[in-house]
Amino acid sequence: MVKGRTGQRVRLYVRGTILGYKRSKSNQYETTSLVQIEGVNTKEDVAWYAGKRMAYIYKAKTKSSETRYRCIWGKVTRPHGNSGVVRAKFKSNLPPDSMGRKVRVFMYPSSI
């Protein structure tokens, strides 16, 4: 993450919001999370993001590898519905307190 970068900060990821888990009315499936990517509003727009990697970044009290920031990596798997929401699978399931928090959707693996 922040490796003591003193130069320009560049954002090469799109911000996304974690909406919760894939679910039906009374059952939820925590292996898949739902993410709303900024600026993506239709199912057709999601095609560009399919397979792109995402990172959920959070802070912990103890330091591991010199930093308190920790990360769970994942990727966009498919669109969810017609309005640009996206399904995502992470290396380990996202914790429930991630709901409503930000996720970084990177632009790689790129196919442009």
Judged by the rule CB under 8 A, the positions of this chain that interact with other proteins are 8, 10-14, 39-40, 45, 47-49, 106-112
Rounded to whole angstroms, the Cα distance separating 1 from 53 reads 15
62 exposed, middle or buried (CB, 10 Å; 0-12, 13-18, 19+)? Answer: exposed
Beta bridge partners of 32: 89
Name which of 27 and 112 has its Cβ closer to other proteins.
112
Q: How far is the CB of 110 from other proteins (least distance, A)?
A: 5
Cα separation, 53 vs 49, in Å, equals: 9
Q: Nearest approach, Cβ of 87 to other proteins (angstroms)?
A: 17
- Angle, CA 93 vertex, CA 106 and CA 14 arms, to 5°: 15
SS3 state at 46: helix
Kindly tell me which of 21 and 85 has the beta carbon lying closer to other proteins: 85
Residue 31 Cβ vs other proteins, minimum distance, rounded to whole Å: 25
The least distance separating other proteins from the CB of residue 4, rounded to whole angstroms, comes to: 12
Nearest CB to other proteins, comparing residues 21 and 40: 40
- Nearer Cβ to other proteins (28/83): 83
